[in-house]
Amino acid sequence: GRIIHLADYRPTDFVLERVDLTFELDPEATKVEARLIFHRREGTDPAAPLVFDGDELTLSGLLLDQMEMAPERYTATPDSLTVRDLPESSPFELTITTIINPQANSQLMGLYRSSGIYCTQCEAEGFRRITYFPDRPDVLAPYTVTIIADKAANPLLLSNGNYLGGGNFDEGRHFAAWFDPHPKPAYLFALVAGDLGVVEDTFTTMSGREVALKIYVEHGKEPRATYAMDALKRSMKWDEEVFGREYDLDIFMIVAVSDFNMGAMENKGLNVFNDKYVLADPETATDADYANIEAIIAHEYFHNWTGNRITCRDWFQLCLKEGLTVFRDHEFSADQRSRPVKRIAEVRHLRSEQFPEDAGPLAHPVRPDKYREINNFYTTTVYEKGSEVTRMIATILGRDLFKKGMDLYFERHDGEAATVEDFVKCFEDASGRDLGQFSLWYNQAGTPHVTVTADYDAAGKALTLEIGQTVPATPGQADKKPMHIPLDLAIVLEDGTIAVPASVDGAEMTGSVLHLKEARHTVTFTGIASRPALSLNRSFSAPVIVRYEQKPADLALIARHETDLFSRWQAITDLALPALKDAARAARKGEAIQIDVTFAEALLAVAADPALEPAFRAQALTLPSEADIARELGGDNDPDAIHAGREAVLTAIARAGADAFGSLFDAMAAEGAYSPDAASAGRRALRNAALLYRTIAEDAPALAAEAFAKADNMTDLSQALTVLAHRFPEAPETHAALAAFEARFAENALVIDKWFQIQATIPGEGALARVMRLKEDRHFNENNPNRVRSLVGAFVFSNPTGFNRADGAGYRFLAEEILRIDAKNPQLAARLLTSMRSWRQLEAGRAELARTALVRIEREALSNDVRDIVDRTLK
Ligand code: B3K
Ligand code: ZN
């Protein structure tokens, strides 16, 4: 595949006016007829040919204004169709016919079949696997779609927009027609056909229109779709109230399918979902599943305005819809649940996923300027860092001006394919501020480092900060410019109050936000009554790494008194990190691990504080992960030593807090019947954290086995099973629990995924043999992405000691998996391979073994997807 550059963008020579598609569905030979009306764009070369994209297509008919075209006027190959000698000025109609094989489509891109259901996935470039088309996001048109199929097998025939009508044909066939009046790019096209059950509801919009809501699932699973429906209605309401956005069709549909390459897809009026993010009930879904369903339903719904009504000019602008829509779903979840707890979870996720990406060979700007395979750019940088960049605009402008800028964006660009520049300009115009330097966030990759030193002058009551920023070099970007970093901070005095400085000098400050714009600032605050502790980057106002040496006593002060709960959690984490790092270093040297457990006092105090919400207290008890510690250590990493060190710290906390964990476990027992709401989920999280520490302190499986036996919901059940399996993999209690779990949920593939995942993440070098054994299990299916992610994905992404076995067997296993999966499903293979992105951070022995495995992959014939990842990872 060749490399596509942002700088090469130019508009099409032809304007697409209308699309009219007819599908005659057949599992192995679906006929697709596309009638497309175009006219030549004014001012373009009147001799220019019309070039269509294709992917593995064969042309079986081509008409110009209903007349067969002479073969010398066009050239068709599997990946393109070029039509010459087209009218100079008048509109014309091309009718393109292709025959495709949905049954044989194992890539799950284009039109494919999943458990007997026809469905489509077109983003980013799947539509060109259905018909020849100008398959780029700046080609927008209204679509009419007619679907013809066998009625018994496919009573349901769905596409985008509003239902026009349908009827019966002979030979048991029927048809349905749909019209989507909102011009859209082809990546938002969808078709679904088959036999499904439905959950129905309605929503009355703010202007009083009634919208039919339908969620389609496999027959019998309807009761498990009610939570998704509830989340949908809350999302629709919230988007009206917070962003003033109203839904714009008569019907909104969601279809759950079991074979899907990602989470879900925002096709206009017809979202297609991985069933994992639709189906839930207390017996089979965890609290995390409920929260994910709520967030993803919201995310896809919110795309209706940010993505669909206003789409992207080209794929380089992907963050324009993804970063913004993640920001919107984050805000939604924060409003529906607990804002600080949600923020902590977001930051944990950003640090564990995006920071490593930004620090490794796959680093790229939020808006990349080149790509070889666009599917490899649906990354945590585009999504989550993209969301953080939007959040910073809101922080810099303040709530009201941010809202004004969003309103202007919706007004100015509705119906268009826009760019990041268009978006930023709306905030500049709405606020009168210059966001020029700020825009570097879109173009410079790498996580900025902010270093701070403080000097307090007691006599002058002045606090002086030396603040420096650097942005590390990333692939293709050696030198970086200073960024505009909005750093929210609090100066916490000895009595726990937050100081209000008499004056600030050396950097602009708005409210509690300091605006860093230079490589170095010397900032002086006056009127600071006592030697302060510094709470930096409150609520994680900027996605940066802050380096500031702070005394444990000062961190403890912040952990106790900060009004920003995120910062209290951060202080607790900062207190624990030195212990975790020291323990890992000691283990690495083969020394005895000594732990001074004073750091845990603040953590235990927060955990026991009844004034704080349980979900927050549970977060305080959840130590940084092994991957987090590896990142903090910054290289030459030995995953076994990190694991051993972290275990020692956990044990020290478990012993120090033994009494507290006992009473917490009892105090957080369920009150009444299960409810998935955030408050109840928080109590379960805290109780399960206590269970973990109690089990560690006792070093025996009995408590977890008892919790497993008594659990009346999937959260408690799977947590207890995880504790058993991860801590006592060979205990009879564990074998019994795993067998009972498997027997009870054998018919529910999504729950069996949890069973795979729990076993795939059992630490230690035995993990690989276990994973290989499970690959032979009757529940495993290599063609189903959810199964592959639960077993192979969980092993390579979430089992640091198992995957990074010192003999390199984990890497060799991954290489073989990648090569086999790549032949069927390149997107899935490429995603799994990103698990190698931090290989250079490993100690030399493992790094060399990892490199050897990458080279093994690199030498084979590969898809464009895997080729792109392996080449960049090795570079
Ligand atoms: N827009 C889709 C992702 C498409 C991925 C294509 N490889 C889902 C989402 O972000 O909402
Ligand atoms: Zn999205």
Ligand 1 pocket, residue 322 CB under 6 Å: yes
Which pLDDT score is estimated for 453? 98
> Distance of alpha carbon 386 from its chain centroid, rounded?
11
Instruction: Assess if residue 791 is contained within a domain.
Output: yes
Ligand 1 pocket, residue 868 CB under 6 Å: no
CATH code assigned at 797: 1.25.50.10
Q: Do 869 and 761 have their domain in common?
A: yes
In the three-class reduction of DSSP (H, G, I as helix; E, B as strand; rest coil), residue 252 is classed as: strand
**Positions of E strands within 70-129:** 74-77, 80-83, 92-100, 110-114, 117-121
CATH code assigned at 391: 1.10.390.10
Query: In whole angstroms, what is the distance from residue 267 CA to residue 161 CA?
Result: 10
864-867's contacts with Cβ under 8 Å and 24+ in sequence apart are 864/1, 864/372, 864/373, 864/826, 865/373, 865/375, 865/376, 865/822, 865/826, 865/827, 865/829, 865/830, 866/818, 866/822, 866/826, 866/829, 866/830, 866/833, 867/1, 867/372, 867/373
Contact 688, 619 (CB under 8 A): no
Q: Please tell me the residue having the least CA distance from ligand 1 atom 1.
A: 265
Q: Do 430 and 315 have their domain in common?
A: yes
Question: Residue ranges of the alpha helices (H) in 205-310?
Answer: 226-243, 287-302
Q: Do 788 and 814 have their domain in common?
A: yes
Q: Is the dihedral of CA 522, 528, 530, 533 positive or negative?
A: negative
Q: Do 372 and 398 have their domain in common?
A: yes
Query: In whole angstroms, what is the distance from residue 140 CA to residue 151 CA?
Result: 32
At position 96, the amino acid (one-letter code) is I
* Structure tokens given for 245: 């956005």
Query: In whole angstroms, what is the distance from residue 858 CA to residue 862 CA?
Result: 8
* Structure tokens given for 552: 């444990």
Query: In whole angstroms, what is the distance from residue 82 CA to residue 72 CA?
Result: 11
Contact 576, 584 (CB under 8 A): no
| Ligand 1 nearest-atom number relative to CA 299 | 11
* Residue among 123, 371, 863, 869 whose CB has most ligand 1 atoms within 8 A, to mutate: 123
| Ligand 1 nearest-atom number relative to CA 261 | 7
Instruction: Assess if residue 853 is contained within a domain.
Output: yes
**Which residues make beta-bridge pairs with 112?**
119
Q: Do 437 and 457 have their domain in common?
A: no
Q: Please tell me the residue having the least CA distance from ligand 1 atom 9.
A: 265
To the nearest 10°, report the CA torsion of 559, 564, 569, 573.
-70
In the chain, how many domains are there? 3
Query: In whole angstroms, what is the distance from residue 644 CA to residue 580 CA?
Result: 10
| Ligand in nearest proximity to the CA of 264 | 1
**Full 3-state SS string of 599-620:** HHHHHHHHHHCCCCCHHHHHHH
What residue ranges of the chain have pLDDT lower than 70? none
Ligand 1 pocket, residue 299 CB under 6 Å: yes
Q: Do 375 and 407 have their domain in common?
A: yes
Ligand 1 pocket, residue 375 CB under 6 Å: yes
Which pLDDT score is estimated for 551? 96
Contact 16, 40 (CB under 8 A): no
At position 658, the amino acid (one-letter code) is A
Query: In whole angstroms, what is the distance from residue 503 CA to residue 492 CA?
Result: 16
Query: In whole angstroms, what is the distance from residue 159 CA to residue 251 CA?
Result: 11
Please say which residue of 490, 514, 549 terminates a domain: 549
Instruction: Assess if residue 645 is contained within a domain.
Output: no
Ligand 1 center–CA 368 separation, angstroms: 17
Query: In whole angstroms, what is the distance from residue 197 CA to residue 279 CA?
Result: 13
Ligand 1 pocket, residue 265 CB under 6 Å: yes
Query: In whole angstroms, what is the distance from residue 387 CA to residue 539 CA?
Result: 14
> Distance of alpha carbon 628 from its chain centroid, rounded?
18
* Structure tokens given for 379: 């990354």
CA-nearest of 496, 422, 502, 428 to 462 is: 502
Please say which residue of 522, 549, 576 terminates a domain: 549
Q: Do 354 and 438 have their domain in common?
A: yes
Q: Which of 123, 218, 294, 300 is catalytic?
A: 300
Q: Is the dihedral of CA 20, 26, 28, 29 positive or negative?
A: negative
CB hemisphere CA count around 39 (13 angstroms): 7
Ligand 1 pocket, residue 123 CB under 6 Å: yes
Contact 12, 137 (CB under 8 A): no
Residue corresponding to tokens 């708005």: 510
Helix, strand, coil percentages for the chain (3-state, nearest 5): 45, 20, 35
Query: In whole angstroms, what is the distance from residue 869 CA to residue 872 CA?
Result: 5
CATH code assigned at 501: 2.60.40.1840
Backbone angles phi, psi at 389, to 5 degrees: -65, -40
In the three-class reduction of DSSP (H, G, I as helix; E, B as strand; rest coil), residue 78 is classed as: coil
Instruction: Assess if residue 527 is contained within a domain.
Output: yes
Residue corresponding to tokens 């995120």: 566
Contact 736, 704 (CB under 8 A): no
Ligand 2 center–CA 168 separation, angstroms: 37
| Ligand in nearest proximity to the CA of 137 | 1
Ligand 1 pocket, residue 373 CB under 6 Å: no
Instruction: Assess if residue 759 is contained within a domain.
Output: yes
Instruction: Assess if residue 263 is contained within a domain.
Output: no
Instruction: Assess if residue 556 is contained within a domain.
Output: no
* Structure tokens given for 859: 């030498």
CB count within 10 Å of CB 553 equals 9
Contact 771, 795 (CB under 8 A): yes
Instruction: Assess if residue 713 is contained within a domain.
Output: no
Q: Do 505 and 425 have their domain in common?
A: no
What region does 310 belong to: left with phi over 0, alpha with psi -120 to 50, or beta? beta
* Residue among 254, 374, 378 whose CB has most ligand 1 atoms within 8 A, to mutate: 378
Q: How many residues does the chain have?
A: 875
Q: Do 873 and 749 have their domain in common?
A: yes
Query: In whole angstroms, what is the distance from residue 587 CA to residue 583 CA?
Result: 6
The model's pTM is: 0.99
Q: Do 420 and 489 have their domain in common?
A: no
Which pLDDT score is estimated for 242? 98
- Report which DSSP code applies to 350: I
CA-nearest of 256, 494, 492, 475 to 365 is: 475
Ligand 1 pocket, residue 462 CB under 6 Å: no
Which pLDDT score is estimated for 1? 81
* Residue among 127, 257, 260, 262 whose CB has most ligand 1 atoms within 8 A, to mutate: 262
CA-nearest of 247, 173, 150, 266 to 207 is: 247
Ligand 1 pocket, residue 378 CB under 6 Å: yes
Ligand 1 center–CA 378 separation, angstroms: 7
CA-nearest of 513, 534, 489, 539 to 340 is: 539
Q: Do 322 and 419 have their domain in common?
A: yes
Query: In whole angstroms, what is the distance from residue 432 CA to residue 254 CA?
Result: 41
Q: Please tell me the residue having the least CA distance from ligand 1 atom 8.
A: 265
Is 300 part of the annotated catalytic residue set? yes
Ligand 1 pocket, residue 125 CB under 6 Å: no
Which pLDDT score is estimated for 14? 98
Contact 509, 528 (CB under 8 A): no
Query: In whole angstroms, what is the distance from residue 225 CA to residue 31 CA?
Result: 33
Q: Please tell me the residue having the least CA distance from ligand 1 atom 4.
A: 123
At position 170, the amino acid (one-letter code) is D
Ligand 2 center–CA 88 separation, angstroms: 39
Please say which residue of 500, 523, 549 terminates a domain: 549
Contact 382, 371 (CB under 8 A): no
- DSSP codes of every residue in 510-537: ETTEEEE-SSEEEEEEE---SPPEEEES
In the three-class reduction of DSSP (H, G, I as helix; E, B as strand; rest coil), residue 49 is classed as: coil
Structural domain including 347 reads: 311-443
Ligand 1 pocket, residue 124 CB under 6 Å: yes
Query: In whole angstroms, what is the distance from residue 247 CA to residue 211 CA?
Result: 8
CA-nearest of 854, 859, 856, 851 to 869 is: 854
Q: Please tell me the residue having the least CA distance from ligand 1 atom 2.
A: 265
| Ligand in nearest proximity to the CA of 267 | 1
Query: In whole angstroms, what is the distance from residue 685 CA to residue 665 CA?
Result: 10
Q: Please tell me the residue having the least CA distance from ligand 1 atom 3.
A: 265
Ligand 1 center–CA 264 separation, angstroms: 7
Q: Do 750 and 859 have their domain in common?
A: yes
